[in-house]
Structures are given as C-alpha cells and as structure tokens.
Structure 1
Amino acid sequence: MKLPDLKGLKGKKPLAVACVLAAVALIILITSLNGRVYAVTIDGKFLGNVKNKKVVENVKQKLIESYREKLGSEIQLVQNIEVAPGKSENGDLLGEEELLNKLQELISVRVKAVVIIINDKAVAAVKDKQTAEAVLQAVKDHYISQVPGELVRVEVPDRVKLAEKYLEIKQVMTLEEAKNLILNGTTETRTHTVGQGENLWSIAQKKGISFNELIEANPQLKSADSISPGDVIYLKEAKPLLNVTVVKRVTFEKPIPYETRIVKDSSLWEGKQVVKQPGKNGVKQVSAELVYKNGVRVSEKPLEVKVIKEPAARILARGTKSEVAYRGSGRFIWPVTGSISSRFGKRGGEYHTGLDIANGTGTPVRAANVGTVTFAGWNGGYGKLVIVNHGGGFETYYAHLNTISVSVGERVEKGEVLGTVGSTGRTTGPHLHFEVRVNGTPKNPLLYLGK
C-alpha cells in the first residue's frame, strides 16, 4: 500500500494536516492487523497458527459437541488449549478442520458421570442419575427374583448417595457392569470347623458355594474325603457391596412328625421290639414371613398354621418275657449287661449266629477277653462292627454299635471299652449282637460266658 507524500503538506492548514496524519495511522493499523497471527499450543506443544481466536473457540465447541453426541453427557477437556500472539513466519495458517484433527489426536476428555457411593465409599460410576437409580433397582430385583413368595418389603440398611463428577471415559460403566460389580463385591475368606457327619459336598451345599470352589480354597487337603470332625477348612465367599433384605410371605406344607407309642407284649423276649403299626407323618399348611439377607434365608415368622392331615402314631410292641443268661465255661466276660432278646440258633426261617443282649443306646460295650482288634468299621447288616482275635482260633464279634472307640491293630484288655450299644445295620432296636467264633465257626456264646 502506497502512503501519501507528507512533503506536500508543508504550508497546509493544521486541520488538513491532522486529517492526513489520521488516515496514515489507520492505514498502518489495518496493515498491522492484517498481518497478525495467533499461536495455538496444548500442554506446551505448538500445534500451529490461526488467523484469529474465534477459530480456536469454534474448534473447541465442535470438539465438545462431537464427544457429547457420542457419549450423551457433558464433556470437560482435560488439557488446556492456549492461544497467544504468534509469528507469521511459523508455518501456514491452520483452518478449523486442520486444527480439529490435531486436537482430536492429542486432547483427553472427562465425561460428567454419576458416582454411586455406598457407606461413604465410591463403588461404581454410570452416565447419569437415571442409570444409577436403575442399577440400584436392578440389584434389588435380583434378590427379589431369587426367592419365591409374595413381596412384603425390601430394605437397604446401607447409606447410599449419588454424586456428580467428571471422570475419564473408561471409568464409566454400563448398567449391567455396575450391577454385577455391586452383586459380586469382594471375596471374603472365612473358616469353618467340620462337624459330625459333614463332608465337603454337604458343606458346599449348606454354604451355597460350588464344590470346586471349596476344593480350590483348601489346597492343603490331600483328597475330598480327607476331612474329619474338628478339622478347620477355608471358605471363600462373595461379599456384596450393597446389603439387601427381602421379606416375602409364603405358604408351604410341613410334615407333622408322628409319635411312637409303646405297648408291652409278654409273648416277646425282653428287649425284643416289633412294629405293630408303622407311623405316618401328618401335614400342616404354614403361612409365614420369610426374611432373606442377600438371598440367604435368615429367619421365619409363622403367621397361620392349618392342619391338613393328622399324623398316625407308630405302635411298637416291646417284649417282657425274660431269660437271664447264667451259664457257660467262664472263658469270656459279658460284654454288656442286660436281658437276652434273641438267642443263638434257628430263628424263624433264619439261623441266628449270635446272642442279642438288649440295652439302651450309648451303653458301654466291653471286650470279652484280652486280644487284638482285627476289624473296626461298617459291615453290611452288622452295621458298626468290632472283631477281636483272642488267639487259639477264638474271635468275638460286637455288632450294631452306635460308636466305635478302637481301631484295627490295637491290643485291648479284658473289660476295655470297644464302643457303645446302638442300632446300626439290620436291627429293630438298640442291642448288642455278640458272637463267639472258633476257627471261623459261630458257637453258642452262652457256652463260653461266665456267670
């Protein structure tokens, strides 16, 4: 641009001079503005020049709108985009599309999310409040659907809050992901002392965990059958992040146990019992409120009970005819005191190989003489059985025991406790089946027992 010749102003009027100078200044200003550029940097890294700040503002808005359209929430740019006067010689000017492409490669964004806080601990984040409320309801619905009955109420004892926060996109979960996280929670390791009659299968079923999980939690076990009462095993259980109590009203049937009535029968040997009438359980209909915590039943409150079928009593005939056993060689002592309920020899269509001595469950059973235990355990119709070898071809059998207190290979003295009277195996009531065998042949025990 060519400027006016200022030499020609000499001698002109002051007003005219002032107008010319103002015009020159305006021309210089316009020329200067037309040549100015702005440098765009992000975290100190130079991206390029733009012709004015409005280009940067337009690009920032486009960037935010593109993420908002994709994520459906408010967006916050993590890095600070700086705009400052630049030098025109530093490369070509960037257009809006070029600047947008550069920023998309380098910029990080945070999305506005809603954090679910349980007992003052942030546990999950989702895109909005509506989704957060749906997550909490989905957790409740999971426990409600797990158990039968009419829903009475649902209780959440934990403190639950929702809070808005800008987070990285990868921290925001879907509804299903957040629900599963809250349900599965953390893994908690506890101990369990093995009780009488328990095994790994029954413990897994009782605790609601899989058998394989129980095995994995107890690598110290040599096999699945190697546990005994009193052993301590480990249980790994999921601890949900949200506790939910569900109360439901249910109607179900329960058996009414029958009672046993005993009648005396003088035609039967004392200690002998015969079932004259089998018992039958009755049935009652129960309406109750059941309380479940995190899907596990914790209590029951009966509301109404209605008897549908009365139970039928079991009638048991108990013999009163007695025979006191007082004869024999005296080689063996009586293993237990009591009356003979069944003698050695023919019994109906069978041959009874021993002597049945009636007594109550739990009565100590003693070794008839000194010897070595050659068997101690379960043996078919004998139930729990102990066999003692006395040498010289003599053996004694102690059957239908309730408990066994000796083991194979153990030497026992005369009168030492071997176990207790029971009714295991094929039997109609508690008694000791005692046998004396000589070279494997059953003999009448009365021939060898002392007075």
Structure 2
Amino acid sequence: MNLPDLKGLKGKRLTAAAGALATVVLIALFFALNGRVYAVSVEGRFIGNVKNKKVIEKARQRLVEKYTEKLGPEIRLAQEIKVSSGEPVRDGLLNEDELLRKLEESIAIEVKAVSVMINDKEVLAVKDKDTAESVLQAVKEHYINGAPGELVRVEVPDRIKLVEKYVNANEVLSKDEAKDLILKGTLEMKTHTVREGETLWDIAKKNNIPFTKLVEANSQLKSVDKLSPGDVIYLQEIKPLLNVTVVKRVTKQEAIPYETKIVKDNSLLEGKRIVKQEGKEGLKQVLAEVVYKNGLRMSEKTLEEKVTKEPVARIVAQGTKAVVTYRGSGRFYWPVSGRITSHFGNRGGEFHTGVDIANAVGTPVRAANSGVVTFAGRNGGYGRLVIISHGGGFETYYAHLNSINVSVGEQVSKGQVIGSVGTSGRTTGPHLHFEVRVNGTPKNPLLYLGN
C-alpha cells in the first residue's frame, strides 16, 4: 500500500493560496488606480461623480468663458464648487458636457454691473455707467418728444445714484428693457387690443378690473366712451419709477366764441324769432407755457394772445307785434268737432275751466289760431297738454291728448294739427279739454269759438 506524499500536498496548497492572494492584490490595485472617483457638490448639494479633477476644472473653465464672452471679464461664480472623494455608482460618471450643464443649473453667475438707485431704492441694474446714463437720457427724451412745442426745461425731482456692484447676471437689463421698466414700472405690462364694437366697460368686465381703475390706467385715451378697433388698452396702471417734468412753450390757434344779440322787431309776431345774421367764431394766436408730468398735461399758463380774426355776432330778431285773435277773425277755430259733454263753469262742486268735446281716440286736434307753442308734454290731471300763446295775453289749452305733434318754441298756424284726441290724465273717456285764457284767467271758450 502506497502512502500519499504529504510534503508535496502541503506545498501545492501554499502555492494556490499565494496565487489567490496575488489576485486579490491585483484587483485592489486595479481599483485603486482605475476605480477612484471624485464627488462634485455645490453648497452641500451633490451634483455627481467625475473620473478625475481635470473634468471639473475644464467644465468650470468653460462655464467662466461662456459668461465672460456674454457679460465681460468681470464675472464671478456666486457659489463655490467643492470636490471630495466619491464612491463608484451604478449610474456611471459625468462627462465634461454633463457636468457643465449641471453646474449651470446650480451656480449663479454674478457680474460687475451698475445698479440704478432712485430715492435710495435699488430699481434695476445695467452693465456699466455709460449704459445707465444712456437709459436715463432715453427716459427724458421719451417725455420730451411726447409733448408738442419748444422745450423750456426738464426737471427730475427724484434722487438718482449709480452704484457699481456684483449682481446676478440674470438681473442685468439691456438698455431698452431698463427704459421700459422705468417708464412703466414693470417689464410685463398686460395689454388688450380693442376689437370692433368693444367698449371700455366690456374690457373691464371681461378682465375683472374695476372700471375706474381701467380709466386711470389709460390716461392716453382721448375719450373713454369711444374706442377704435386696434387701440391698445393697458390692463394695469402705469407707475413710472422716475418722475420727469417737462415744460414746453407752444403757439396755437384758439377759437373766439361769438355772442348772440337779440334785437326787437315789431314787424314780427310776439314770441316769434328769426336769425338775421349767422354768428362766426373768431381766431386768436396764443403763446402758452405747458407743464407735463410723466407725459400727462398738468397745467398751462398763457404768456401772450393776439387776435387774428374778429368774431361775428349772431343777431336774432324777436317779434313784439301783438295779435288780438278776436279782432282778426272774430272767433277761434274749433280745435275738434264733437259733442260738448261738459261746459265751462261750476261742475259738481268744482269749477271747470274749459269745455270737453267728445270724439274718438286719435281724432286730429287743430290749433284754434296761429301762435307759438309754450308747453308740450305731460302736466298732472291734464295728461298730455299743449299750450299755445296767440299774443295779446291770449292762450289756448289742449288737454288729455293721445299724441303731441308739436314742440315748445314752434310757430303754428291756424288749423294746423297739433295732436290727437285721447284719454291721458284725469278723464272718464276720450275727449278734448279745451280752454281759452286771457292774461292767465280762464274764459268761457264758447264766447270765442266760431259757429
């Protein structure tokens, strides 16, 4: 029986163990040389792992170069990039482009700029002092050019200070953006373009804005009652950040109103008027000093006036010739035919001041004689009433009318239709209540009516 070679077996086991150890050492060395990673963080927030520090440096350099080209050399990163030993992750490592993108999302870029302060309040920032001064000048010119006339002076009562400092790159405005912000108080002014048939009331209701607030926000409108398609309506009040007063000297033409002269004419019937001469407005040249604040006209002072065309007075002839009707025809014309249902005088405990002539609703009512209409409308128990003055103190009344065909001041002729029979006012049926008054006192109409 052969026994195993124990010495040889032991040696083989030692050799295998040594080989295994060598393999472990090689694997560890491989990871030590090739598996080490670097963790990148910004203000304690983990961004990702990278293969080596060169990736971090190149990404940082590219970030700086990108904003230097855009904003100039005086920029800085607002947050610090921190690097520490990292652990390999299943998701892999960030390459340079990926790291650059994540850094842009996480780091604010600050640039040396000029902050514009108005009344000790920081309102905006632009890239340099020249731009700031250019913006302020552009604001002044906006108001200067927006007002007519010769410039007298420009006044800016607010305190303005330019301060150089580092600000977030996203806060730096262009010249046009800065100008709009100062003029309107916001970069995002909401507007509405007027459509055909729209009114300011419609726009206020649609946008849930009080009407008075909408009017205040649109002082540029010539009339709030009449809009034209295409007009731009501001939906919020414009509050300029800088107050600018512009004083202009203007020369303008103004109309001189004409006066109306009344002349008496005894060839015309009393109460009648005719225009003898049409009036014409005159003209004058006015030199004035006008004050505008933030584009709005505030006051005007007249410096000099010169009449270039005298006005022409309007001359109206007023009749003074009295007409005594009973002398002309001897009688008044019956205003309507029909049966008299109520006479002049005492009636059931009251005094009836005229006569009631019954007829159907709508029957024409005619003027009893020529004259001037002094009343045409509703009058208590009379209902619809027409009063005609015939001169010489004579008046006739036509009451309870269904319709009225004349108006106050109208000259009517004898027999002219002035209305129709009705039941308006206090009445029990369709009829005409007719009165004759002399110097205000009711007289019996039958004494003046023809047969």
Q: Is the aligned partner of 1:262 residue 2:256?
A: no
- 1:265-303 Cα offsets, whole Å, 9 max, x none, are 111122222111111111111111111222222211112
Residue identity (%): 48
CA contact (8 A) 2:373 2:406 kept: no
Q: Is the aligned partner of 1:438 residue 2:416?
A: no
Matching residue's letter, 2:238: K
Separation in structure 1 between the aligned mates of residue 319 and residue 302 of structure 2, nearest angstrom: 42
Q: Is the aligned partner of 1:140 residue 2:140?
A: yes
Q: 1:290 to 1:324 in 2, by over 3 A?
A: farther
DSSP-derived class of the 1:135 partner:
helix
Cα deviation for residue 122 of structure 1 reads 3.1
CA contact (8 A) 2:404 2:420 kept: yes
Q: 1:233 to 1:109 in 2, by over 3 A?
A: closer
Cα deviation for residue 133 of structure 1 reads 2.0
- 1:139-174 Cα offsets, whole Å, 9 max, x none, are 222222222211111222233333334333322222
Q: What is residue 407 of structure 2 aligned with on the other side?
A: 399
Q: 1:211 to 1:283 in 2, by over 3 A?
A: farther
Which of 366, 381, 384 lines up with 1:370 in the alignment? 381
Separation in structure 2 between the aligned mates of residue 332 and residue 181 of structure 1, nearest angstrom: 80
Separation in structure 2 between the aligned mates of residue 70 and residue 95 of structure 1, nearest angstrom: 24
Cα deviation for residue 38 of structure 1 reads 9.8
Cα deviation for residue 319 of structure 1 reads 1.5
Q: 1:142 to 1:434 in 2, by over 3 A?
A: farther
Q: What is residue 306 of structure 2 aligned with on the other side?
A: 306
- 1:307-326 Cα offsets, whole Å, 9 max, x none, are 11111222221111234789
Separation in structure 1 between the aligned mates of residue 79 and residue 173 of structure 2, nearest angstrom: 23
Q: What is residue 79 of structure 1 aligned with on the other side?
A: 79
Q: Is the aligned partner of 1:356 residue 2:347?
A: no
Q: 1:246 to 1:114 in 2, by over 3 A?
A: same
Q: What is residue 217 of structure 1 aligned with on the other side?
A: 204
CA contact (8 A) 1:249 1:290 kept: yes
Matching residue's letter, 2:130: Q
RMSD across aligned positions (CA): 5.1
Which of 227, 231, 235 lines up with 2:213 in the alignment? 235
Cα deviation for residue 73 of structure 1 reads 5.6
Separation in structure 2 between the aligned mates of residue 153 and residue 305 of structure 1, nearest angstrom: 22
Separation in structure 2 between the aligned mates of residue 122 and residue 214 of structure 1, nearest angstrom: 37
- 1:384-414 Cα offsets, whole Å, 9 max, x none, are xxxx9965x76556734xxxxxxxxxxxxxx
CA contact (8 A) 1:41 1:47 kept: no
CA contact (8 A) 2:367 2:417 kept: no
Q: What is residue 159 of structure 2 aligned with on the other side?
A: 159
TM-score with structure 1 setting the length: 0.54
Q: What is residue 279 of structure 1 aligned with on the other side?
A: 279
Separation in structure 2 between the aligned mates of residue 138 and residue 182 of structure 1, nearest angstrom: 10
Q: 1:117 to 1:212 in 2, by over 3 A?
A: farther
DSSP-derived class of the 2:213 partner:
strand
CA contact (8 A) 1:279 1:315 kept: yes
Matching residue's letter, 2:116: I
Cα deviation for residue 366 of structure 1 reads 7.8
Q: 1:332 to 1:214 in 2, by over 3 A?
A: farther
Separation in structure 2 between the aligned mates of residue 290 and residue 168 of structure 1, nearest angstrom: 43
- 1:165-189 Cα offsets, whole Å, 9 max, x none, are 43333222222222222222369xx
Q: What is residue 5 of structure 1 aligned with on the other side?
A: none
Separation in structure 2 between the aligned mates of residue 217 and residue 244 of structure 1, nearest angstrom: 29
Separation in structure 1 between the aligned mates of residue 407 and residue 421 of structure 2, nearest angstrom: 17
- 1:184-238 Cα offsets, whole Å, 9 max, x none, are 2369xxxxxxxxxxxxxxxxxxxxxx964443224699xxxxxxxxxx9523212
DSSP-derived class of the 2:303 partner:
strand
